[in-house]
């Protein structure tokens, strides 16, 4: 049994990260085309890094909420080979909660990328430095923050595809706080998981495509996910006990008896 947790902005909203898209928020003060596209990252680097530094300042006080913590606890209990966490968010709240190997579909704000060398490295300072140099080529001209810009390739989508293809009807697919506007349901569901009772959607807005899920919980992430995580952990424990008993029965059966 595998568990895939797929999350969007709704999971961070309860940690206070949403206002940057609200009225008067960061997005209103910047032209996306001048800060958040690949050409902008290089042609308007000062402005682009300034924008991402404002995002960082906005993220600074955010703390993981009960949903992030429940994901970390589930992963710690069942292992990171069993529990895969995928997020569309560029914050690091899952990592701050203790999650490992989080798949950031759209990158994150915790590092740099040199677009020429395809080299990534962590951001050591509190803010991005527009003059940061690539450790490989020593140049700063093609250095950008490691968030995926509009019009840029997002290599982690290949991983998403592989994960989707590998899921079976025994696996859980739990979506938390996503509107499916960027990553559509067709990118998550395969034949086995479509409308499976183990495909669960947690979203207070009860958004489409709810029909793809077996279970829809119209509650906030921090309210809905801890209970779901507990239920999954209990099932995993029952499965483990059952398989241990089967193995010990097999081991006790002496040859010649059957
Ligand atoms: Zn380089």
> Looking at the structure, do residues 24 and 2 belong to the same domain, yes or no?
no
> Looking at the structure, do residues 120 and 218 belong to the same domain, yes or no?
no
Can you give the pLDDT at residue 20? 60
Total domains, the chain: 2
- Model confidence, pTM: 0.90
Report the greatest alpha carbon distance in the chain: 80
> Looking at the structure, do residues 57 and 71 belong to the same domain, yes or no?
no
Can you give the pLDDT at residue 209? 63
> Looking at the structure, do residues 87 and 70 belong to the same domain, yes or no?
yes
Q: Which residues, in sequence order, are CB contacts of 35 under 8 Å at separation 6+? A: 44, 47, 48, 50, 51, 52
Catalytic residue among 44, 58, 106, 115: 106
Is the bond into 209 cis (omega within 30 degrees of 0)? Answer: yes
> Looking at the structure, do residues 132 and 92 belong to the same domain, yes or no?
no
Q: How far is the CA of 132 from the centre of ligand 1 (A)?
A: 11
CATH of the domain at 3: 3.40.50.1220
> Looking at the structure, do residues 233 and 206 belong to the same domain, yes or no?
yes
> Looking at the structure, do residues 135 and 38 belong to the same domain, yes or no?
yes
**Domain end: 92, 124, 147, which one?**
147
> Looking at the structure, do residues 4 and 132 belong to the same domain, yes or no?
no
Placement of tokens 């398989």 in the chain: 243
Supply the range of the domain harboring residue 41.
18-61+107-147
- Cross-strand partners of 121: 112
> Looking at the structure, do residues 119 and 216 belong to the same domain, yes or no?
no
Can you give the pLDDT at residue 256? 53
Q: How far is the CA of 82 from the centre of ligand 1 (A)?
A: 35
Residues of the chain whose pLDDT is less than 70? Answer: 19-24, 207-210, 253-258
> Looking at the structure, do residues 186 and 70 belong to the same domain, yes or no?
yes
Can you give the pLDDT at residue 249? 79
Note whether 74 and 83 are within 8 A (CB).
Answer: yes
Q: How far is the CA of 136 from the centre of ligand 1 (A)?
A: 5
Neighbouring C-alpha atoms within 13 Å toward the C-beta of 55: 23
**Domain end: 97, 120, 147, which one?**
147
CATH of the domain at 128: 3.30.1600.10
Q: How far is the CA of 107 from the centre of ligand 1 (A)?
A: 18
> Looking at the structure, do residues 140 and 219 belong to the same domain, yes or no?
no
Can you give the pLDDT at residue 128? 97
Tell me: the pLDDT tens digits for 157-178?
999 999 999 999 999 999 999 8
CA distances from 255 to 243, 245, 249, 252 (A): 21, 18, 13, 9
Can you give the pLDDT at residue 257? 47
Is 106 designated active site?
yes
> Looking at the structure, do residues 96 and 167 belong to the same domain, yes or no?
yes
Can you give the pLDDT at residue 134? 98
Tell me: the pLDDT tens digits for 85-135?
999 999 999 999 999 999 999 999 999 999 999 999 999 999 999 999 999
């Amino acid at each position: 049994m595998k568990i895939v947790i797929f999350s969007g902005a709704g999971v961070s909203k309860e940690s206070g990260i949403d206002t940057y898209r609200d009225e008067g928020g960061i997005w209103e003060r910047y032209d996306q085309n001048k800060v958040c596209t690949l050409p902008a990252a290089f042609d308007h680097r000062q402005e682009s890094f300034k924008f991402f530094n404002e995002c960082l300042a906005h993220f600074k006080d955010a703390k993981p909420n009960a949903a992030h913590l429940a994901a970390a606890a589930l992963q710690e209990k069942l292992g990171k080979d069993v529990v895969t966490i995928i997020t569309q968010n560029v914050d690091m709240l899952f990592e701050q909660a203790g999650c490992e190997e989080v798949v950031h579909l759209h990158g994150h704000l915790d590092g740099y990328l040199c677009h020429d060398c395809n080299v990534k490295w962590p951001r050591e300072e509190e803010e991005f430095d527009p003059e940061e140099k690539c450790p490989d080529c020593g140049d700063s001209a093609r250095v950008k923050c490691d968030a995926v810009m509009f019009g840029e390739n997002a290599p982690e989508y290949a991983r998403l595809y592989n994960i989707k293809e590998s899921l079976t009807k025994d696996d859980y697919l739990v979506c938390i706080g996503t509107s499916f506007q960027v990553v559509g349901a067709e990118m998550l569901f395969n034949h086995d998981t479509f409308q499976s009772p183990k495909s669960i959607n947690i979203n207070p807005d009860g958004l489409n495509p709810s029909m793809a899920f077996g279970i829809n919980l119209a509650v906030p992430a921090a309210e809905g996910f801890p209970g779901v995580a507990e239920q999954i952990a209990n099932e995993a424990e029952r499965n483990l006990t059952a398989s241990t008993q089967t193995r010990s029965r097999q081991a006790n059966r002496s040859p010649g008896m059957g």
